[in-house]
Amino acid sequence: MESFAIHIGGFALTEPITAVSDFLLTLLCLAICRKLQPFRKQEPAAAFWQYFFIGMGLSVLTGVVVHGFRQYQSEAEHYNTWMGMNVITGCSVYFAQIATALSVLKGGKGEKRMRTLATVQFVVYLACISLFHSFNAVKIQIAAGMIPVMVLNIIDSRKGAKGGAWLATGIGLSFFSAVCHTLKFSISERWFNYNDISHLFIASSFIGIYIGIRTRLTAGRDIISRPN
């Protein structure tokens, strides 16, 4: 993609729309974390969903640096910042898996298995991202971690759990961002590229996931707590 920057005084902001939308996503994550804070004492899984949004917020905030401050970074600095962003994203997926294990699979063998699987998956992900230096590893980590979370919430929703459909829908929307990024679908490479379109799907995803979590909590359901 063509390198593009806008100049504000003597400062160059590269990929301006992508950097600004990353920052707006950060604010959205912070707002959601604040909304979830009162529920931490009610259900341990709520804390891990909060960690998920904290991690995603840090990831997109790092994206501001990766995209917006490109001209002020050496190749090594740019790579290290990009790697940090990807590691944080992987951590967030891990927290979503743990939150689901603690809620949907609470008290059963499935909880322990999912927690173990999430840990192994995260270790493998760190190895892959370090060895292959590819964003494809990030996409695989997100898909491998979030698809089971989505499926479990769909199943529980059909059993009558409040908010499960919202949570599953929110996760489903996130996969459109991966498709858009993979196909590099852009309306304008400068002003509305595939990164920017992906961010719209990510914002919708975050909102859907939050509505699902809040719906369960306000319904007094312990964010789904049935033994396996």
Q: At residue 139, does pLDDT exceed 90? A: no
The mean per-residue pLDDT over the stretch 72-96 comes to 84
Q: Does the residue 187 lie in any domain?
A: yes
DSSP 148-174: HHHHHHHHHHHTT-TTHHHHHHHHHHH
The region of weakest confidence among 152-156, 159-163, 208-212 is 159-163
The mean per-residue pLDDT over the stretch 161-177 comes to 83
Of the candidates 18, 13, 10, 8, the residue with the CA atom closest to the CA atom of residue 194 = 18
Of the candidates 72, 68, 202, 224, the residue with the CA atom closest to the CA atom of residue 158 = 224
Q: At residue 223, does pLDDT exceed 80? A: no
Q: Does the residue 225 lie in any domain?
A: no
Give the chain's domain count. 1
**Structure token digits, residue 23:** 């920052």
Instruction: Output the pLDDT for position 190.
Output: 64
pLDDT band for position 225 (cuts 50, 70, 90): very low
The mean per-residue pLDDT over the stretch 50-78 comes to 83
- Domain range for 93: 15-218
Q: Does the residue 10 lie in any domain?
A: no
Partners of residue 1 on adjacent β-strands: none
DSSP 47-85: HHHHHHHHHHHHHHHHHHHHHHTGGGS-HHHHHHHHHHH
The region of weakest confidence among 41-45, 77-81, 83-87, 216-220 is 216-220
- Would you call 32 helix, strand, or coil by DSSP? helix
The mean per-residue pLDDT over the stretch 161-186 comes to 78
Q: Does the residue 193 lie in any domain?
A: yes
Q: Does the residue 3 lie in any domain?
A: no
Q: Does the residue 7 lie in any domain?
A: no
Residues contacting 17, CB < 8 A, separation 6+: 191, 192, 193, 196
Q: Does the residue 201 lie in any domain?
A: yes
Per-residue b or e along 82-119, where b marks 16 or more CB atoms closer than 10 Å to that residue's CB: beebbbbbbbbbbbbbbbbbbbbbbeeebbeebbeebe
Instruction: Output the pLDDT for position 226.
Output: 44
- In angstroms and rounded to an integer, the radius of gyration of the C-alpha atoms of the chain is 18
DSSP 187-206: SBTTTB-HHHHHHHHHHHHH
Distance in angstroms (rounded) separating the CA atoms of residues 71 and 83: 18
The model's pLDDT over 177-191, given as tens digits with 9 standing for 90+, comes to: 777 766 676 666 667
pLDDT band for position 220 (cuts 50, 70, 90): low
pLDDT band for position 221 (cuts 50, 70, 90): very low
Q: Does the residue 63 lie in any domain?
A: yes
Q: Average model confidence (pLDDT) for the chain?
A: 81
pLDDT band for position 141 (cuts 50, 70, 90): confident
